[in-house]
Structure 1
Amino acid sequence: MFLVHVFLLLLEPSLWRLITGSPTDENTRRSGHGEQGEPGHNEHHKDSYSTFASEFLVSRYLSDEGYPFPTAPPVDPFARIRVSDCGVTKGCIRYGKPGCDAETCEYFLSYRRIGTDVEFEMSADTDGWVAVGFSSDKKMGGDDVMGCVHDDNGRVRIHHFYNVGQWAKEIRRNPARDEEGLFENNRVTCRFKRPLYVPREETLVDLHLSWYYLFAWGPAIQGSITRHDFDNPPVSDHMISIYKYEDIFMPATAYQTFSSPFCLLLIVALTFYLLMGSP
């Protein structure tokens, strides 16, 4: 209650006399009454607006301990990526272990059209950054890149880059909007929208057209991306159109051992040798 008294004192100095009282104030009140107890002209009017406002403030905006109630609205949590929509209402590319989803793939990307925009969702097993590049070929260089970067404050921000050779240069003009980001369980996840069409510019491609998609992720230092650890980052094997919702799975390197033609031929030869035996 001491804090409440101090607060009321700041609002109306005269309230201090009402709370604590003093002999002088008591004598003043007595002198304001006549002999028959009738109020005199010097009686203090207790129903002032400041008294009402102070009591209203205490009853409505202060807790029992005298601290203000929080007024900021809660922040909406990041909506989890729905992989059940892949190939139906949005396109998806998964890189990693067979059967992985947006929270277990080494890299995950989804895209879908919303009016004149394209909404992208990205997630990767990293504490730094995750990105997608739009390329006219399968090589890095001269590519429009959108990246989600985790900084030292725990935030995930959307950045726009342009590949100059093997170096990603950040571009001041950023077409991303409605940005969302999350860093959780050592994964960077984000969601953002980007216009389908932008005025022709070297660093921005027209998403009405089909492009090879380049996939990359790696570490970051103080919110700045550093080079990834891949000699050959994953890339889509064909040009992707945002008008065709595909569900593409790309096995990670660890799961490609027996998928190459040479390995399959070797397995067939060994099997034939074991079944037929030596001559």
Structure 2
Amino acid sequence: MAERSRGARRRLLLLLLLAGSAASPAEEGGGRREAGGGEHGEEAARHHDSSYGTFASEFYDLRYLSEEGYPFPTAPPVDPFAKIRVDDCGKTKGCFRYGKPGCNAETCDYFLSYRRIGADVEFELSADTDGWVAVGFSSDKKMGGDDVMACVHDDNGRVRIQHFYNVGQWAKEIQRNPARDEEGVFENNRVTCRFKRPVYVPREETIVDLHLSWYYLFAWGPAIQGSITRHDIDSPPVSERVVSIYKYEDIFMPSAAYQTFSSPFCLLLIVALTFYLLMGTP
């Protein structure tokens, strides 16, 4: 390949030299004519300069052609990341929102959506982090022995979709990655991504069949040099019940900051303390 490329350059240089030598008589003739009458000499010089400029331009362009004579391919333009639509939640896709009441894909602490597209399931994930956001598929509500898909923000500013398998409390990256049609972005201190994976897969311990129902584990946290580290909260949120990709719901889970006075136990405790303070101690 390298030898043929050098040969092509030599032939082009030879053509350049021949073009220059072929134009030299015109230059000499132009010089003689200039002595007798400068107008014709200047016209010949302009014609020569124009011809040389055209050839040089073509030669420059040829340097960027492949040996077969076709231009080298250029990277296609990157389409902007399409925003996640929350209006479709509970209708054409299922959603989980974790954060303050009324939050969306851009304001929730954590957001996940899923929908079936042919033989695939499309997932959309977003979290308030500069590191990684993930979803795990589990047979119970505990970490360990889980199939995990994570979107990781690396040091180059890219968001990559990776496949992990939870072994106890730590995640082991699995080279076999079922994700496709991957896209991701890091904006406004959020990692957001979208990818598809097949509904059915060959039986394997580290990849689950999504046509079955699983508990969904939601996690996010920092990354160091593109590698995930421990998640941000000690007890990451988990779906209350197993999730079926054939049923679309819009489920909101208040984060810890908004759970303080929402549970019946907390309300009962407040009533008891109020009564105690009003009645006083005996």
User: TM-score normalised by the shorter chain: which range applies?
Assistant: 0.7 to 0.9
Aligned length: 245
Structure 2, unaligned runs of 5 or more: 1-11, 33-46, 63-72
Instruction: Give the equivalent residue in structure 2 for 1:54.
Output: 55
Matches within 5 A, 1:157-172: 157-172=160-175
**Which residue identity lines up with residue 156 of structure 1 in the other structure?**
V
Contact 2:20–2:52 (CA<8 Å) still a contact in 1? no
Matches within 5 A, 1:66-215: 72-215=75-218
Distance 1:262 1:83, change over 3 A: same
Aligned alpha-carbon RMSD (Å):
3.5
TM-score (normalizing by structure 2): 0.76
Instruction: Give the equivalent residue in structure 2 for 1:4.
Output: none
Alpha-carbon distance, 1:74 to partner: 2.2
Distance 1:72 1:17, change over 3 A: farther
Residue deviations 1:103-153 (CA, integer Å, cap 9, x gap): 110000000000000000000011110000000110000100000001000
Distance 1:249 1:10, change over 3 A: farther
Alpha-carbon distance, 1:251 to partner: 0.3
* Aligned counterpart for 1:227 among listed residues 227, 230, 236: 230
Separation in 2 of the partners of 1:144 and 1:88? Answer: 26
Contact 2:81–2:183 (CA<8 Å) still a contact in 1? yes
Separation in 2 of the partners of 1:194 and 1:253? Answer: 31
Separation in 1 of the partners of 2:195 and 2:91? Answer: 20
Contact 2:113–2:123 (CA<8 Å) still a contact in 1? yes
Alpha-carbon distance, 1:272 to partner: 6.6
Residue deviations 1:164-215 (CA, integer Å, cap 9, x gap): 0001010111000000010111110000000001011111111011111000
Contact 1:209–1:241 (CA<8 Å) still a contact in 2? yes
Separation in 1 of the partners of 2:90 and 2:171? Answer: 31
Matches within 5 A, 1:258-273: 258-269=261-272
Contact 2:100–2:254 (CA<8 Å) still a contact in 1? yes
* Aligned counterpart for 2:253 among listed residues 247, 250, 253: 250
Contact 1:134–1:211 (CA<8 Å) still a contact in 2? yes
3-state SS, counterpart of residue 105 of structure 1? coil
Matched, 1:13 2:9: no
Alpha-carbon distance, 1:273 to partner: 7.5
Structure 1, unaligned runs of 5 or more: 1-7, 32-45, 62-69
Alpha-carbon distance, 1:161 to partner: 0.4
**Which residue identity lines up with residue 140 of structure 2 in the other structure?**
D
